[in-house]
Amino acid sequence: MMTNLFSTFDPATSTNLSLNWISVSLGILFLPSMFWLIPSRINLAWIKITSTLHNEFKILLKINKMKGSTLIFISLFSLILFNNFLSLFPYVFSSTSHLALTLTLALPLWLSFMIYGWINNTIHMLAHLVPQGTPPVLMPFMVCIETISNIIRPGTLAIRLTANMIAGHLLLTLLGNTGPSMSMIMLNLLMITQILLLILESAVAVIQSYVFSILSTLYSSEVN
pLDDT at 4: 57
CA 153 to chain centre: 14
Residue 177: what pLDDT? 78
How far apart (Å, rounded) are the C-alpha atoms in residues 157 and 184?
A: 42
Q: Give residue limits of the domains in the chain.
A: 7-223
Query: pLDDT tens digit string along 77-104?
Result: 999 998 898 888 887 788 888 888 899 9
Tell me the residue type at 77. F
Contact 11, 18 (CB under 8 A): yes
Q: How far apart are CA 124 and CA 121, in angstroms?
A: 5
Q: Are 150 and 114 in contact (CB under 8 A)?
A: yes
CB neighbours (10 Å) of residue 208? 22
Rounded to two decimals, the pTM is 0.83
Task: Supply the Cα-derived Rg of the chain in whole angstroms.
Answer: 21
Please report the pLDDT score of residue 18 as a whole number.
66
Give me the pLDDT at residue 3, please.
47
- Whole-angstrom Cα distance, residue 23 to residue 94? 8
Q: Any idea what DSSP says for residue 11?
A: -
Below-70 pLDDT ranges, the chain: 1-19, 63-68
